[in-house]
Amino acid sequence: MAKTILILPGDGIGPEIVAEARKVLEVVNQRFDLNLTLTEGLVGGAAIDATGVPLPDATLDAARQADAILLGAVGGPKWDQLDTAIRPEKGLLGLRSNLELFANLRPAILYPQLAEASSLKPEIVAGLDILIVRELTGGIYFGKPRGIRTLENGEREGYNTYVYRESEIERIGRVAFEAARKRNGKVCSIDKANVLEVTVLWREVMDRLAKDYPDVQLSHMYVDNAAMQLVRAPKQFDVLVTGNMFGDILSDEAAMLTGSIGMLPSASLDRNNKGMYEPCHGSAPDIAGQGVANPLATILSVAMMLRYSVGAEEAASTIEAAVGKVLDQGLRTRDIASTGATVVSTREMGEAVLAAL
């Protein structure tokens, strides 16, 4: 059956990296007869410039109708002074919450060819393969009340609310347990149950869920320790499951273990495996327009999209193999280049993947 893919390039390096990923998608679409229709829309700063809002109705409608969404990145200094309610990031948060994309899957895999790109010793990271499952539509990023208020004495106070319902914890927990079943059978749940009641409940729900998955081993860890363990001995982990804010931070830390945030894809899924796929990194305004951004995270996001939302496993693994081949050839964008590597531009890297396909 024909499927529709909505492409949202966004801001900064977004359009540059998405252009390369789109070419890859077009090639596999034909090669594997996937019958995908590709459409494009505006989100983030690009949408603010064109329409005044970060998530125009037309984009949200198109996203609702699409079977999957490929997103570049949003944000940049140009829009940093705007009120938080209409900042580019609101476009992203709006898509995640409106489409109920509650499960964010962020693999951190260290390609053997890039072991030297990690800031950690190769023996600590070589062969790393962990999956961070982050709750994406709840927690402190969405909790109400929130705001900045003025107290009676005239001093201002900022406040947010950290809240999770049992049902929200349970559905993300199930995603993690199911994922662990297909991997090495271990889930580590990250919380701060020594301080925050909301995560006392989180821990209780995870323990309860574990009874449904006797084949999966559940452990718990405080988030501060997890941050430490990720740099001390990251290979102890298989699947990590955590809330929105802790997951935001830990997944960037895990990304760095692999040497470059420019290599890591992500998927955000709803209950029916409809998903939004995007690189883990942001819009990198510091290098936007220079043609040096690494497009591989976005290209690998296309592979994840084909696997989870299109059900085209062969096309997905063909793309992943092509990326491996390009790394074998010694081609590197600047962010993953070690001495002696052949440094290529964003477009050259995209073309090398196409050739390897």
Active site amino acids? 141, 192, 224, 248, 252
Least Cβ distance, residue 81 to ligand NAD (angstroms): 12
Of 212, 144, 226, nearest to 180 by C-alpha is 212
User: To the nearest whole angstrom, how small is the minimum distance from the Cβ of residue 266 to ligand NAD?
Assistant: 8
Pick between residue 42 and residue 205 the one whose CB is nearest to ligand NAD: 42
Contact positions vs ligand NAD (CB under 6 A): 13, 17, 73-76, 89, 92, 261-262, 278, 281-287, 293-294, 297, 335
Nearer to ligand NAD, 189 or 333 (CB): 333
> Helices 166-181 and 197-210, interaxial angle, to 10°?
50
Closest approach, Cβ 92 to ligand NAD, in A, equals 5
Closest CA to 326 of 293, 295, 299, 353: 353
Q: Which helix (H) or strand (E) holds 104?
A: strand 103-109
**Parallel/antiparallel/unpaired status of strands 265-269 and 275-279:** antiparallel
354 CB neighbour count, 10 Å cutoff: 16
Select 70 or 287, whichever has its Cβ closest to ligand NAD: 287
CB nearer to ligand NAD: pick between 20 and 191: 20
The CA-based diameter of the chain, rounded to the nearest angstrom, is 68
Cβ burial 132-144 (10 Å sphere, 16+ → b, else e): bbbbbbbbbbbbe
| Nearest CB to ligand NAD, comparing residues 106 and 274 | 106
Shortest Å, Cβ 268 to ligand NAD: 10
| DSSP symbol at 87 | S
User: Distance between CA atoms of 14 and 3, rounded to whole angstroms?
Assistant: 23
Minimum distance of ligand NAD from residue 61's CB (angstroms): 21
